[in-house]
């Protein structure tokens, strides 16, 4: 968006023709864009003169039309689908990978992660096992944050600085551990644009959903209408707190029309 604020966009796996997704439940698939939809969004940005930045660059809040592109989970499509398209458009991005998923079917291998890194894309951390960090023990939080950072750094041979929370779930304990581990930022899934006044440990991100019309994408990049989504998001978080994350996920999958897998 214009001026010294920036909307951080959150993507996940991309859908390629003839290729099985990493997961199939509706609560997952709603976050998955077919490659062509993603291309359409990137083409709109490019044709409209926008810049696409990684997290480190976005934190400078340059005075131009820009979005920050982020991808969660570390799916193989980061390298084989997103990266080539981003290179074609001259766009930068940050890939938050789940350390414990590396080398499992559908996700990046260690070698592929090194390749993505060597192509100049920013690699960041999205926990060890994708556990909701509000639901696990102190020892597990340490493993999810500290050990995951170490694992990725060992693979890449350099420090990584940014962390994003699985499912957007975080609390004070999460924040403290992320700081203690030496991460410089924490990204969540809260619906707001970020500015130079936003805490680096409370970076909002807007999840781009599968069926988002291009006009709605443009509105998001411009930071329009985010307050409406913010209220919906807060209401969801309230339900999650009352009934618990597991029950919430089962309920969401039931409401979306399929039993949880
Ligand atoms: Zn995730």
Ligand 1 centroid–CA 63 distance in Å is 30
Q: Cα-flanking dihedrals φ and ψ of residue 127, to 5°?
A: 80, 180
Q: What's the gap in Å between 228 CA and the centre of ligand 1? A: 23
Note whether 217 and 211 are within 8 A (CB). no
Q: How far is the CA of 124 from the centre of ligand 1 (A)?
A: 12
179 alpha carbon – ligand 1 mean position (Å): 20
Q: pTM to 2 decimals?
A: 0.90
Q: Quote the ligand 1 centre to 249 CA distance (angstroms).
A: 14
Q: Is 49 exposed, middle or buried (0-12, 13-18, 19+ CB in 10 A)?
A: exposed
First to last CA, the chain: 38
Q: How far is the CA of 193 from the centre of ligand 1 (A)?
A: 20
CA-to-CA separations, 14 to 120, 191, 231, in angstroms, rounded: 20, 22, 28
Q: How far is the CA of 165 from the centre of ligand 1 (A)?
A: 7
Per-residue pLDDT of the chain in tens (261 residues, 90 and over written 9)? 445 899 999 999 999 999 999 999 999 999 999 999 999 999 999 999 999 999 999 999 998 999 999 999 999 999 999 999 999 999 999 999 999 999 999 999 999 999 999 999 999 999 999 999 999 999 999 999 999 999 999 999 999 999 999 999 999 999 999 999 999 999 999 989 999 999 999 999 999 999 999 999 999 999 987 766 666 777 777 777 777 888 778 777 777 765 444
Sequence-distant (≥ 6) Cβ neighbours of residue 24 within 8 angstroms:
261
Paired with 71 in beta bridges are 11, 95
157 alpha carbon to ligand 1 midpoint, in Å?
24
Taking a 5 Å cut-off on Cβ, the residues next to ion ligand 1 are 72-73, 166
């Amino acid at each position: 968006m214009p001026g010294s604020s920036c909307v951080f966009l959150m993507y996940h796996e991309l859908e390629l023709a003839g290729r099985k997704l990493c997961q199939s439940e509706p609560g997952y698939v709603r976050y998955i864009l077919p490659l062509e939809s993603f291309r359409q969004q990137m083409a709109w940005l490019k044709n409209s003169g926008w810049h696409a930045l990684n997290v480190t660059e976005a934190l400078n809040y340059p005075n131009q039309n820009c979005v920050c592109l982020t991808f969660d989970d570390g799916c193989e499509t980061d390298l084989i689908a997103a990266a080539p398209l981003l290179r074609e458009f001259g766009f930068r991005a940050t890939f938050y990978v789940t350390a414990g998923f590396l080398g499992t079917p559908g996700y990046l291998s260690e070698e592929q992660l090194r390749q993505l890194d060597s192509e100049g894309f920013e690699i960041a951390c999205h926990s060890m096992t994708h556990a909701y960090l509000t639901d696990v023990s102190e020892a597990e939080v340490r493993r999810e944050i500290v050990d995951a950072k170490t694992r990725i750094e060992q693979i890449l041979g350099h420090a990584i600085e940014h962390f994003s929370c699985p499912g957007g779930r975080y609390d004070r304990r999460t924040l403290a551990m992320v700081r203690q581990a030496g991460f410089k930022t924490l990204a969540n899934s809260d619906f707001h644009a970020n500015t130079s006044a936003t805490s680096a440990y409370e970076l909002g991100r807007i999840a781009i959903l599968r069926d988002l019309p291009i006009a709605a994408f443009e509105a998001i990049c411009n930071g329009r209408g985010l307050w409406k989504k913010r209220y919906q998001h807060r209401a969801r978080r309230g339900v999650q707190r009352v009934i618990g994350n597991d029950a919430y996920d089962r309920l969401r999958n039931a409401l979306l029309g399929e039993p949880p897998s």
